[in-house]
Amino acid sequence: MYERPQNSTLIARLNEKPVRLILVTGPRQSGKTTLVQQVLRHIDRPWRYFAVDEPDSVTFSPIPRDDVGLEATEAGSIGPRTGERDERWLVRRWEEARVDAERSEQGFVLVFDEIQKIANWSEAVKGLWDADRRHARNLHVVLLGSAPLILQRGMTESLAGRYETIRLTHWSFVEMSEAFDVDLPDYLYFGGYPGAVAIAHDQERWREYIMDSVIEPNIERDVLAMQRVDKPALLKRVFELGAGYSGQILSYNKMLGQLQDSGNTTTLARYLDLLSHGGLIAGLPNHANHAHRVRASSPKLNVLNTALMSAGSGYTFEEAKADRSWWGRLVESAVGAHLYNTGTPLLGLRYWRHRGREVDFVLERGRRLVAFEVKSGTRRVSPSGLREFTERFDVERSVLVGEGGVPLSEFLSIPARDWFERS
């Protein structure tokens, strides 16, 4: 089975002394659970895994137990069948792991998947973790979650300085190619969802899977849980609008006109921010030297996985390729998603437009800038945009992606940060 690069990072963390909690985050269907379970089967110490968001399902571990409420199986032992998992349940599972850690010479690994589903989880984890550090217990704790904003808030408010994060993003073209032999056109249209690969040949079934098993639960269970949303229906329409206009610059006022809702531009900006934290759609700002101009700019909408654009388009794969304009936006969206997903907290991603001159994407690291123009063969690139941008700003390099420049397949194999290191 294919293993993502983050596997080795998690293994390395588990081979160190447990001085920090390990937080694994990423959008739904990015493979967080699979990654952690792969790693657990590689390590040479006992562990226990709990799926918090599946209270009626079993949890599993490789070590047999005789505790009340646990049943033995051929695969080892399974966790308690509980109707509700709350703070008290979390404390009980943690205390059981402490006993296991004392019994094991190698230490113990405890995993909670979708930890944010437990009320007051961060305060409980803080007390338990601090007590373990005082007693120098050899107990690693791994926390997983699909709502990064909730997790980050809980970690920063209660657990500051006590954790390290391993971030998963949507699967890249290289990963999908190596793991499933996906070619470039298929990746552009069907995107980077491993769970959908096996049914891509049945396009109607694939579309229903993306809509019902990816988009709907992502919005309903993850995005709407991050913060209070007064207009859930508007949030969903913002997503639909963003997917439909991906690769285009659209002012908030024009969005309001399209949405025909009584919301305001501040609400739309906040909803776009929530959708970006959910790994769905980003609203990229216009590059400017002054922060207030950046905040006031019209966003460039960009899906973070091109499947989100294709699934709602109404196009089959063949129809999508035949529409040169739409396919060009798909290519541009794939470029933007790749730069966004492979970025780091130190990198910023924007676009630039001034008096009709444009640059598709601007990657920032401090004062260093890299400008990108996308040429898909279906859209013309205006060299005047890049030329004026380089005249107005101190640009480290300009990159043409596609015909006459860096081939798209090669570009999609280069992480965003590497553009600042290339000679």
Q: How large is the greatest C-alpha to C-alpha distance in the chain, in angstroms? A: 73
Closest CA to 184 of 405, 413, 375: 413
Whether residues 292 and 145 share a domain: the answer is no
Domain count, the chain: 2
Whether residues 235 and 350 share a domain: the answer is yes
Q: Which residue segment(s) compose the domain that 393 sits in?
A: 173-420
- pLDDT tens-place string over residues 368-389: 999 999 988 655 666 678 889 9
- Whether the CB-CB separation of 388 and 354 falls below 8 Å is answered with yes
Whether residues 20 and 112 share a domain: the answer is yes
Whether residues 145 and 205 share a domain: the answer is no
**Alpha-carbon span 87 to 258, nearest angstrom:** 44
**Alpha-carbon span 364 to 385, nearest angstrom:** 18
Asked whether residue 192 is domain-assigned, the answer is yes
Of 145, 167, 189, the one marking the end of a domain is: 167
Whether residues 239 and 331 share a domain: the answer is yes
* pLDDT of 156 above 80: no
**pLDDT bucket at 160, cuts 50 / 70 / 90:** confident
Whether residues 136 and 277 share a domain: the answer is no
Asked whether residue 1 is domain-assigned, the answer is no
Phi, psi of 263 (to 5 degrees): -70, 180
Token pair of 276 as six digits = 């970006």
245 contacts: CB under 8 Å, gap ≥ 6: 301
Token pair of 363 as six digits = 């990657």
Whether residues 152 and 198 share a domain: the answer is no
Whether residues 186 and 68 share a domain: the answer is no
Whether residues 233 and 364 share a domain: the answer is yes
Compute how many other C-beta atoms are within 10 angstroms of the C-beta atom of residue 369.
23
Whether residues 100 and 181 share a domain: the answer is no
Token pair of 146 as six digits = 């699909």
- pLDDT tens-place string over residues 224-271: 877 788 888 889 999 999 999 999 999 888 888 888 766 788 889 999
Whether residues 43 and 179 share a domain: the answer is no
Whether residues 344 and 309 share a domain: the answer is yes
Asked whether residue 159 is domain-assigned, the answer is yes
Query: Residue 151 belongs to a domain with what CATH number?
Result: 3.40.50.300
